[in-house]
Structure 1
Amino acid sequence: MLIAQISDIHLGFEPDNPAEFNRKRLDRTLRALCEMSPRPDILLATGDLADAGDDDLSYRRLQSALSVCPFPVFYCMGNHDNRDLFLQRFKEFRAEDGFIQYAIEDYPVRILVLDTLEEGRHGGGFCETRAAWLRARLAEERTKPTLLVLHHPPIETGLSWMTENPDAEWVRRLHDIVAASDNIVGMVAGHLHRPVVTRWAGTVLMVCPSTAPQVALDLDTIDPEDPDGRPMIVADPPGFALHLWTGDALVSHFDTCEDHTVLARYESALQPLVRMLANERTSD
């Protein structure tokens, strides 16, 4: 199974411009995903779908942009999103106890989509109501490989200003649930506008880069009282992730939507190498 992931689209950053910079970056990313071979089985869009969640126009444009996808698209909420406006536009989804959390079944990997939107906060949240839902879903199936999807990575990242408090109540609540479930094969998130991989609560956490501009890689401390002119947002190319379920493990790849300079192609000169590597694998 091949799972594509995009994140932090931020449509509506230029609300009066239907051909805005972020829409162009999204379209480039979707074109790359739709034209690749093999195509993804599904696409996960992991939050901050709109830049201003109070703008229905952004969700309308998002719906139009994603309609080109020849594979199912599943969404989760980010801190810039608005649940009510999202549900008005994407009527195939619904809220349960006020949160957009749901299970994606019928694939080799079971996928549980979490809602970490905490209104009024840039960072995440995961209250007891949401936690009870996750415990119940995990109790339904204790052996099938399961992937968790959320917007906010519940980790200390080292990034100077885009990070969570690892001792926050919501982080500890989610940690205890994940650590107690040995069939969770991974977690995928967004929010950071950078690719990040770490181990958390006994599983692997992969953070997808954004289709919108990226966050600068800066691991130095930042002083909220001293604007020192450091780069914060950079116009690096839009990125995406591909998560391949091999039947035994989840293998994640990250790429950017840009013109890659090709240094070698699979032509006759490289055929001996390809044959040798294929023979090695089959003879093991």
Structure 2
Amino acid sequence: MLIAQITDIHLGFEPDTPDEFNRQRLDRVLAELSGLSPRPDLLLLTGDLVDRGDVASYERLREALDGLPFPVHFALGNHDERATFRSVFPQAPFAGGFLQYAIDDPTLRLLVLDTLEEGRHGGAFCDERARWLTERLDEAPHQRTLIVLHHPPMEVGIAWMNTDPAEPWVARLAGVLAGRANVVGLICGHIHRAITARWEGHIVATCPSTAPQVGLDLRPLDPDQPDERALIIADAPGYALHWWNGRELITHWDSAGEKDVLARFDARLQGMVQHMMAERPGRAAAE
């Protein structure tokens, strides 16, 4: 199973500009994903779909996604607005007022969580949402399951974007996931960077953004003393591919755009490739 993920799109950062910078970056990523072989089985958009929660931006997002060759599923981030999103995407599967739902596949089950608390930059995960997740995990305790959410539950070291480990929602989520050996990992957005960490016994991976990225600066930050550090940078728009091979979840990150190719699989390198692949016992067994 191949899962594509994009995140932190922030359409509408330039209001009333259909061809804004963030839309151009989104279109580049969608074009690249659509041309992949093998093609992703589905695409996850993990929050901050738009920048200001407005109808026009959600409509432009719907337009950008129209005609993609794979199913699209959404999570919400802190820049989103539930009611407005639902008005443009009425088919979205809400549960108890939250965008939480299961994507059931025989190879890997996905549980999408809603960590939005409107008016707050950081995450949230209340008792009602925790009960929903508990019930979903309890109904399939042996099914390999991937958790999908916007906010990463761990501290990442970038001071102005950090999740505080003492936030109540973090402990609530950790409590629900404790001892769940069938959970293969968590995938998130929010940080606008590719990051991996082990949190409470689970691997967490955050996806780079299609919108401009957060600068990598691990210095302490004094909010009362501006120090001219780079907060936002404009590297190429990014995405993630999560490959479930039946045993492990493998995450690859890439960016959209042309790359300088330094070697190709041609007759000159065929012998090297044959030698490398002949070493593998699994290949001999398959033949």
**What is the TM-score of this pair, normalised by structure 2?**
0.97
2:71 is aligned with 1:72: yes
Q: Deviations over 1:105-164 (max 9, x none)?
A: 134100000000011110000000000000000000000100000000011111121111
> What SS class does the counterpart of residue 160 from structure 2 fall into?
coil
What is the aligned partner in structure 2 of residue 10 from structure 1? 10
- Distance, in Å, in 2 between the alignment partners of 1:184 and 1:11 is 32
Please list every run of at least 4 consecutive aligned residues from structure 1 whose deviation after the TM superposition is greater than 4 angstroms: none
Stretch of structure 1 that moved more, 97-106 or 108-117: 97-106
- Distance, in Å, in 1 between the alignment partners of 2:96 and 2:44 is 22
Amino acid at match of 2:24: K
2:108 is aligned with 1:118: no
The CA deviation at 1:94 is 3.4
What is the aligned partner in structure 1 of residue 236 from structure 2? 237
Q: Deviations over 1:27-53 (max 9, x none)?
A: 000001000110100000000001001
2:217 is aligned with 1:224: no
2:130 is aligned with 1:127: no
> What SS class does the counterpart of residue 241 from structure 2 fall into?
strand
The CA deviation at 1:209 is 0.3
CA contact (8 A) 1:176 1:201 kept: no
- Distance, in Å, in 2 between the alignment partners of 1:216 and 1:263 is 28
- Distance, in Å, in 2 between the alignment partners of 1:143 and 1:273 is 41
- Distance, in Å, in 2 between the alignment partners of 1:275 and 1:91 is 51
Amino acid at match of 2:87: Q
- Distance, in Å, in 2 between the alignment partners of 1:249 and 1:95 is 29
- Distance, in Å, in 2 between the alignment partners of 1:24 and 1:221 is 34
The CA deviation at 1:68 is 3.0
Amino acid at match of 1:151: H
Q: Deviations over 1:212-252 (max 9, x none)?
A: 00000000011100111111000111000000000001000
The percentage of aligned residue pairs carrying the same residue is 54
The CA deviation at 1:283 is 4.5
> What SS class does the counterpart of residue 161 from structure 1 fall into?
helix
Q: Deviations over 1:153-180 (max 9, x none)?
A: 0111111211111111100010111122
- Distance, in Å, in 2 between the alignment partners of 1:201 and 1:109 is 21
- Distance, in Å, in 1 between the alignment partners of 2:284 and 2:110 is 35
Q: State how 1:1-284 maps to structure 2 within 5 Å.
A: 1-53=1-53, 55-281=54-280, 282-283=283-284
Q: Deviations over 1:46-92 (max 9, x none)?
A: 00001001x10000000010113100000001000011111111121
- Distance, in Å, in 2 between the alignment partners of 1:227 and 1:202 is 36
CA contact (8 A) 1:87 1:94 kept: no
Structure 2 unmatched runs, 5+: none
Amino acid at match of 1:22: N
- Distance, in Å, in 1 between the alignment partners of 2:208 and 2:240 is 8
Name the CA shift for 1:130/1:250 in 2 (closer, same or farther; >3 Å): same
- Distance, in Å, in 2 between the alignment partners of 1:167 and 1:111 is 27
- Distance, in Å, in 1 between the alignment partners of 2:174 and 2:125 is 11
Amino acid at match of 2:39: R
Amino acid at match of 2:131: A
